[in-house]
Structure 1
Amino acid sequence: MSTTNPALDFALAIHAAGLGNPTIIPDGNVHRFRCDGDKPGSKNGWYALYLDGTPAGVFGSWKLGRTETWCSVSADDQTPQQRADLRALIEQAKRERDQQQRDQYAKAADKAKVILDSTTPADPYHQYLITKQIQPHGIRQQGIALQIPVTVGNSLSSVQTIFPTGVKRFLTGGRIAGGCYLISDQVRREELLIAEGFATGASLHEAIGAAVFVAFNANNLLAVARYVRSQHPKANIIVCGDDDRWTEGNPGKTKARAAALDIGAKLLMPDWTGLDLDTKPSDFNDLYRLRRAAQGAAA
């Protein structure tokens, strides 16, 4: 679909790409917007539209790692000069976008440090830890909320806040991609494990005795796995996936398998044999708690 309004056509292209319906400001600057499906208040989408000369633009999503282009003239009909101008616009927009992202990450990292500086070691009797039947393993606490540092390489990038009810929040604007939290107290085995959530990682660590890299979500498993492999090229790495059998496509298992294959690691999934699945369990924390309950009932 094409109209006589370049800004409208550009907006339609963003919508067709499944990224949302931002209000377009055609000033050539990079603007951010909330993508469809993102949390309220987040602005992972970005765009820049230029109307000087041949109208053209570029847009994408930081979260999804997507970058797409749009031009009022179809690719087949573009002149060599128009193609060159479009490439130049794209590169300019990418530079501006990347600088915005760096500035945002730096601001969030500074805020994360301020938050952590005001925390104390997590109370082992915090309601969330009691519910999950796990130990703190070095995480922090601020008021009633647990605070888990997120690090990219050796640098603090964000924090994950967990409330007593289990509600979780990441610091707005902080970098999560490639970020993790390492559980490495009282290590008894040489394997390196990678898991999604903190509770899952804590349960694995307590049961197996190996160090665990917490990736925080399934979409981050691959980035964390690549980081761990780069730091430990000869290590026996095991990616421990969530069994999201109750969700279409089982994203936990799918993402864990992809990460394991990518770095040449082993894949470990929960074994529910003999357990009651009425509560729709999915991760290793669920597994170990169900096993304890079954053992207690049998005693």
Structure 2
Amino acid sequence: MPKKYLHVPFEEKNQAKALGALWDKDKKLWYIPAWKEENGFSQWLLPQTQQNYNFESIKEEFKAALIQSGLIIDDMPIMDGKIHRVAVIGDKGRQTSGAYAGFMDHRPAGWFQNYKTGEKKNWVTQQYYNQNDQDKNQRIQIENAIIDNKKKVNQKIQDLEEQYKSTANRINLEFENARWANTNHPYLTKKGLDKNYYLKQDKHGNLLIPLRDVDGHLWAVQRIFENGDKMIGVLRTTEEKEKDLRFPAKKLGSFFAVGCKFETIPTLKKLIIAEGFATAATLNEALKQPVIMAVDAGNMSHVVENLIKKYPDKEIIIAADNDIKRVRNGEKNVGIEAALEIQEKFNNIKIIKPVFTQNEIDEGYSDFNDIFKSRGIEAVRNTFRKVLQNTEQSLHQKQIISKDKGLTQ
């Protein structure tokens, strides 16, 4: 009997799960178990015409179209009907000159725009045309266009990889010749830190945080300016700016180990992973253990995936940012949502989130460094250990319940 698939928004997954929906790891979709009635799932039930769609393939197809138009998409596009801003080729710093929206309802489709080039397109998945008996010549044209598009995208990816290697060579040379960071660097002082943690400084006094892949190759640096601004990659010379030369740096999946040398990572029993440097350094001081800095929530999933592949037997704990004030303002709690998605994707991931007082929430506190500055290092240590203990107890109870269910079925 074929599975009945559901389109469940991420924020409603717990509701669907509670009703008995199961997760198909291959298709990345929730579905109704054979022993359940459809009635309770009607709000998410896909139309019959969509039951045979390959949704992962649709996302790949949409991603190819986005990249072809110059949008920079590291992971799969988010097709939730909302507008997502992203960088495009040629963007500087934090610019996001690209936008897209994708829809999975009824007819998988979307639109995207590159504001730098002015290009704007509507898009419909090829699978829709294949399922709706369009003219054969039209389908052939679409198929040929997609094949040609994939070739162009693959060439762009190859070109980008070569640029990454060239930028990495430049960054390696700069980092090797840079001096060690001052322990009284304004950013470190602002965060309450008084060590250099194997960081260096460039000739302008900006902190240099080396970002390596799981094999230790240095691909990029995060520069932190005295005022706290951050950027990934190289600082261009005046001449390079005038010529509009670009030096893309590969951040995806790269990280920095705070509190230990890179070569000691294989000896660690557990890997604690945080987003930013200040949070990772704070936890390193509080726990007296090395902590992995993943740079940001968007890169966290890639770092975790790469570490699991390299070290499948290591325990992984995510120390997530917890921006409650953003939730109150109707925005996403990005750190928590990213951590939950990772936990959904991989087994046995533990999530530790900072817990704040009401005043701290009102002040916009969101990470363990904020607790450190507010209440001291002992509060960080106690909060982390208490939440970890509660998390382990909850996981243990779930395992017992799951085991009991297995025995009674």
Query: TM-score by structure 2 length?
Result: 0.54
Aligned to 2:282: 203
Corresponding residue to 1:77 among 135, 140, 144: 135
SS in 2 for 1:157: strand
Corresponding residue to 1:244 among 323, 328, 335: 323
The answer to whether 1:150 aligns with 2:211 is yes
Aligned to 2:15: none
Aligned to 2:355: 271
Alpha-carbon distance in 1 for matches of 2:85, 2:268 = 43
Alpha-carbon distance in 2 for matches of 1:275, 1:231 = 42
SS in 2 for 1:204: helix
Which is richer in helix? 2
Q: Equivalences for 1:120-135 in 2 at 5 Å?
A: 120-134=179-193, 135=195
Q: Label 1:101 to 1:78 Cα distance change in 2 as closer, same or farther (>3 A).
A: farther
Aligned to 1:292: 376
Alpha-carbon distance in 2 for matches of 1:176, 1:292 = 32
Q: List per-residue Cα deviations over 1:113-132 (Å, max 9, x = no partner).
A: 13212311111111111111
The residue type equivalent to 1:146 in the other structure is L
Alpha-carbon distance in 1 for matches of 2:298, 2:355 = 22
Alpha-carbon shift at residue 278 of structure 1 (Å): 3.9
Alpha-carbon distance in 2 for matches of 1:185, 1:203 = 14
Alpha-carbon distance in 2 for matches of 1:180, 1:36 = 24
The answer to whether 1:255 aligns with 2:313 is no
Alpha-carbon shift at residue 151 of structure 1 (Å): 1.2
Q: Label 1:136 to 1:78 Cα distance change in 2 as closer, same or farther (>3 A).
A: farther
Q: Label 1:293 to 1:216 Cα distance change in 2 as closer, same or farther (>3 A).
A: closer
SS in 1 for 2:376: helix
Alpha-carbon distance in 2 for matches of 1:84, 1:274 = 56
Alpha-carbon distance in 2 for matches of 1:193, 1:293 = 17
Corresponding residue to 1:282 among 350, 366, 371: 366
Q: List per-residue Cα deviations over 1:83-103 (Å, max 9, x = no partner).
A: 442243123112212112212
Alpha-carbon distance in 2 for matches of 1:221, 1:36 = 19
State the Cα RMSD in Å: 3.6
Instruction: Extract structure 1 runs of 4+ deviating beyond 3 A.
Output: 30-40, 42-45, 68-71, 186-190, 273-278
Q: Equivalences for 1:42-53 in 2 at 5 Å?
A: none
- Gaps (5+ residues) in structure 1? 1-16, 23-29, 46-58, 62-67
Corresponding residue to 2:231 among 152, 169, 173: 169
Alpha-carbon distance in 1 for matches of 2:190, 2:356 = 20
The answer to whether 1:219 aligns with 2:304 is no
Alpha-carbon distance in 1 for matches of 2:199, 2:357 = 32
Query: TM-score by structure 1 length?
Result: 0.72
- Gaps (5+ residues) in structure 2? 1-61, 73-83, 99-111, 115-121, 234-246, 380-409
Corresponding residue to 2:196 among 131, 136, 160: 136
The answer to whether 1:180 aligns with 2:255 is yes
The residue type equivalent to 1:240 in the other structure is A
Q: In the comparison of the two structures, how many residue pairs are matched?
A: 251
Aligned to 1:48: none
Alpha-carbon distance in 2 for matches of 1:173, 1:36 = 19
Alpha-carbon shift at residue 216 of structure 1 (Å): 0.5
The residue type equivalent to 2:256 in the other structure is Y
Alpha-carbon shift at residue 279 of structure 1 (Å): 2.4
Aligned to 1:94: 153
Q: Label 1:94 to 1:136 Cα distance change in 2 as closer, same or farther (>3 A).
A: same
